[in-house]
Amino acid sequence: MSLSPSPSPSRVRVGRPAIAALGILALALGTLQSVVEPALPLLQRELGVSPAEGALVGNALLVTGAVVTPVAGKLGDRYGGRRVLVRLMAVVSAGGLLAGLAPNLPVLLLGQVLQGVMVGVLPLSFILVRKHLTAGESQVAIGVVLALFTGGSIVGTLVAGPIAERLSWHGMFLLPTIAIIASTAVVTRLMPHDPPVRSDERIDWAGVVLLSGTLLAFMLGLVTVTSAGLPPLAVGAIAVAVAALATGWVAVERRAVSPMVDLRMLAKPAMWSACVLTLVITTSAGMVLFLLPQLFAAPADGYGFGAGTTQIGLFLLPGAIAGAVSDSVGGVAARRFGSRAVVVAGTVITTGTMITLASLHSAAWQLVLAKVLTAFAAGVATTALLAGTATAVATGDTGIVTSLLVVTRVIGFALGVQISGAILAAGADPVTGLPGEPAFVTGFATAGLVAAVSLLVVRVSKKGVRA
């Protein structure tokens, strides 16, 4: 299965059936990605792990996505998006099958790592769309693909509980994987070949390894610090290790002839602000993503609701729908109002919602409404940033730019999830091991404050552009 470039075929305009095929695949991938969210409390009980350790189940997928996405985008630019996409789907399918047969946490994490390759499908889809559609049409198409990827969360949210409770949690991974295999066959048949761009540049595998090490060290460091009661010296050593890995990655990327992530793009004010805003917005959204299912599952005799996996899925469903709608709206909003205005509106909504939720979280409808508002706000803002930036650069840079934004988006969600897991683990009762209500209050307030940072970034970046 060599990926050596072949002669560029004549350009073929992407038709509706091909876009629909990409959308169906995105829907199946979104389903596989989202089954963990409502079932995470169940997985923690079944596997006997803490909230911080449970956060690793979802983050294993996100970490892989963060390091694979830039490579996938570059391979797609060089060898053709369709060709690379099909190969990545083989890896995702293997990961889904492995997770579906996992007997313990380490094997499940390995399966999630392989599934994380699915995040690389997004920039590959953008490459295909951008090569065959106009800039205006690309904005809409990107929004549609993202909407269906997010829409898969609706399906995953609904089916996770019934499958886990009537069959087993293994089935949550097996059934969506079968759908991915089938939809990949459809994409292979309908999507036209896209012309590759010949290049002798090598893949920056050193950058891939260092970024993977940095993210994993940070995630595992949070788990260790909050769960093991380490002395200050050990905590400092972990911090030094993370900083050293991050510094090494930046140094490698700056010197590499063909860097994994072209950090020179960050020198452009618009690109720098888009990345920082995406990171801040998704970190806040990731915190909400983790905190709400945990609060729904908390015992009803205290401050929680004692909800099972199916009920948690129903509580999260309106938010999943709002997220799907927001992604389709984001591309249109970016073209009409500009990404900056969309980000400000989304930030105000998210900040206000989280600060309010820190005080009012005694009724299920309050949490459901908060999920709807934050999912819509974050989805519209990040999609507007992605679509606006992707169509503002040259066609040849689309893969690099979208990969950089998608990897930032993934890192943000992963950071938010792991930070929330660390907050709950730090606030757990030493007898029951369950997080106390103050831990949730701290988590919601922190998520609101993180979101508010976006307003400062918008103001600073605006002054920078004027200067």
What domain range includes position 63?
Answer: 16-193+258-466
Considering only CA atoms, which of 66, 121, 113 is closest in space to residue 89?
A: 121
For the record, the structure tokens of 171 come out as 């089935």
24 and 158 assigned to the same domain: yes
pLDDT of residue 445: 94
238 and 160 assigned to the same domain: no
Q: Specify the number of domains making up the chain.
A: 2
327 and 454 assigned to the same domain: yes
Question: Is 198 contained in some domain?
Answer: no
Question: Is 7 contained in some domain?
Answer: no
- Which residues are within 8 A (CB) of 463 and not within 5 positions of it... i.e. 6 or more apart? none
The 10s digit of each residue's pLDDT in 441-463 is 999 999 999 998 888 887 776 64
pLDDT of residue 370: 93
Domain boundary, last residue among 257, 277, 294: 257
Question: Is 104 contained in some domain?
Answer: yes
121 and 250 assigned to the same domain: no
Q: Kindly report the CATH number assigned to the domain that includes residue 427.
A: 1.20.1250.20
287 and 408 assigned to the same domain: yes
Mean pLDDT by 10 residues, the chain (467 residues): 43 65 84 88 85 81 77 74 84 92 88 86 74 65 74 83 87 90 82 66 78 80 66 79 88 80 70 84 90 89 86 89 78 75 87 91 92 90 77 64 76 86 83 84 93 83 49
Question: Is 175 contained in some domain?
Answer: yes
Question: Is 2 contained in some domain?
Answer: no
267 and 409 assigned to the same domain: yes
Question: Is 263 contained in some domain?
Answer: yes
151 and 235 assigned to the same domain: no
76 and 213 assigned to the same domain: no
Question: Is 11 contained in some domain?
Answer: no
Domain boundary, last residue among 257, 274, 301: 257
143 and 226 assigned to the same domain: no
The 10s digit of each residue's pLDDT in 321-340 is 888 788 678 777 777 777 77
| Cα angle: 250, vertex 256, 257; to 5 degrees | 150
Domain boundary, last residue among 240, 257, 274: 257
User: Is 214 buried (19+), middle (13-18) or exposed (0-12) by CB count in 10 A?
Assistant: buried
275 and 318 assigned to the same domain: yes
117 and 218 assigned to the same domain: no
103 and 244 assigned to the same domain: no
Question: Is 116 contained in some domain?
Answer: yes
The 10s digit of each residue's pLDDT in 211-270 is 888 887 877 777 776 665 667 777 788 888 888 988 998 888 888 877 777 777 776 766
Q: Which residues of 442-464 are buried (b: 16+ CB within 10 A; e: fewer)?
A: bbbebbbebbbbbeebbeebeee
pLDDT of residue 93: 93
For the record, the structure tokens of 177 come out as 């994987």
